[in-house]
Amino acid sequence: MSHRYSIGQLARAGHSKVQTIRYYEQVGLLKKAQRNAGNQRVYDQAQMDRLKFIRHSRELGFSLEQIREILALSDNPDHSRLEVDQIARNHLKDVESKIERLQGMRKELKRMINQCSGDQIADCRIIEVLSDHQLCLAREHQ
């Protein structure tokens, strides 16, 4: 007999919130739970595994749409792995681009902080740079 989970048990074991599980059901990432005699949701091990997959994917920054695509592909095991590979590669490019922008922002923030001199706001370069984008070296976040 397979293990059955209440929504609370699924949430705890899957490190998610009950509201998140309901949302995933609503948007079709998790199949609708069966109901017991008391009309409470009951989940099986496959739904637990799917929730853990979704949660891990979210931790890696995949969007819900990307997760939906990957799940649809994984539901068809005869499908080529190339589509999943392409989704992951595109996501990696997005992550690398974000890292590059964040590094530029970091550099600019350090520069602003290092140029802030004196004891008064009038001498603070941070206020000046934040007020005028022309003074900012990192154009990526404009």
Q: Please give the distance of CA 93 from its chain centroid, rounded to a whole number.
A: 15
Paired strand residues for 31: none
Does one domain contain both 90 and 66? no
Does one domain contain both 43 and 91? no
3-state secondary structure 22-37: HHHHHCCCCCCCEECC
**Cα(64)–Cα(70) distance, integer angstroms:** 10
CB 47 within 8 A of CB 33: yes
Range of the domain at 126: 81-142
User: How confident is the model over 83-122, as pLDDT tens digits?
Assistant: 999 999 999 999 999 999 999 889 888 887 887 766 766 6
CB atoms within 10 A of CB 73: 16
CB atoms within 10 A of CB 30: 22
Does one domain contain both 36 and 89? no
pTM to 2 decimal places: 0.77
Does one domain contain both 9 and 55? yes
Does one domain contain both 7 and 74? yes
Domain count along the chain: 2
The pLDDT profile of the chain, 142 residues, written as one tens digit per residue, is: 568 999 999 999 999 999 999 999 999 999 998 898 888 899 999 999 999 999 999 999 999 999 999 999 998 888 888 999 999 999 999 999 999 999 988 988 888 788 776 676 666 777 777 777 666 665 555 4
Does one domain contain both 87 and 124? yes
Does one domain contain both 53 and 93? no
> Helices 64-74 and 45-59 sit at what angle, rounded to 10 degrees?
140
Does one domain contain both 67 and 86? no
